Amino acid sequence: MTQRHQLDLLDNAIDSLNEALTKYQQAKAGDVKAYKFCVLHLSHFLELVLKHYVTLAHPLLIYKNPFAKDFNDESLTIGLQEAINFLRNEGKDLSEQFLKDITWLKKLRNHIEHYKFDMEVADVEATIGRLVHAFVEFDQAHANMELDDLIDSGQYHLFLELANNYDMNLKKAENEVDDACRVNHDDPDFNVYHCDQCDHDTMIPDGDSETGYRCTFCGSEESGYMEVRCGLCDMPWNMWQMKYLDWTDNEDWMYVCPRCLGDPNYVKDD
């Protein structure tokens, strides 16, 4: 007798999450190649679970054409981006960092499936932690599924650990920033900047950094919010506002501010 194994949308999503957690455990135990399968399963989980949230509004919204005369196994369903668009249009809070991490994970998954597998283990671990944390926050705010009943009992502790480690590491990074602010409260050149990489205000001066700054949370050394001086007028501007130009066409590279470039948004008529 032929056996059939059927999973609905949510069951299918949770099954992929359990597989992702299993592969994560294997990778942490020394089988680094298991990260590849962790990425594949976690990416699949996120896509399906976001579609599941869409169906909570109405089951037919899973289909690209919910007004079709009838539906069958060949009917086209919405994709990840369409699910994200629907949830945002419905007023659900999906942070920019969460969406950025999903895009990064999806890109890595596509490379694994169609091209090659090339990753930094630290980046994968950090992103997986952020995604699990963001998913838990989103679920608590909008659906509040009984995750402890859905996730395999043997994996639930790891799931919570991934979510909680993010909070613990962030708190540690924020405390480091607070300590640095107290020590340097009289220093006019001491600044705290927003980190583009992890989306936290945890970028502080660091003498060992090539840029002079380092994020206490993710270790990034660059931020568009860092102030640099214009090579022409010597005024400080946020890096994202500047253009890095070869001003003399003789390898004379410098940051030039929008005012010196005549940007009408910054230059007023006399």
pLDDT of amino acid 4: 46
pLDDT of amino acid 116: 67
pLDDT of amino acid 23: 95
**Residues forming a β-bridge with 256:** 243
Distance CA 21, CA 33 (A): 14
pLDDT of amino acid 269: 57
User: C-alpha distances in angstroms, 102 versus 113, 162, 269?
Assistant: 16, 16, 45
pLDDT of amino acid 250: 85
Distance CA 10, CA 50 (A): 10
Q: What residues of the chain score a pLDDT lower than 70?
A: 1-7, 116-118, 268-270
**Residues forming a β-bridge with 245:** 254
CB atoms within 10 A of CB 50: 23
Q: Is the pTM of this model over 0.75?
A: no
Q: How many residues does the chain have?
A: 270
pLDDT of amino acid 1: 45
Q: Of the candidates 34, 6, 32, which has an alpha carbon nearest to the alpha carbon of residue 20?
A: 34
Token digits of residue 190: 């001491």
pLDDT of amino acid 165: 82
Handedness of CA 77, 81, 87, 88 (dihedral sign): negative
pLDDT of amino acid 264: 87
pLDDT of amino acid 20: 95
pLDDT of amino acid 5: 44
**Sequence spans of domains, the chain:** 9-151, 226-270
Distance CA 172, CA 185 (A): 20
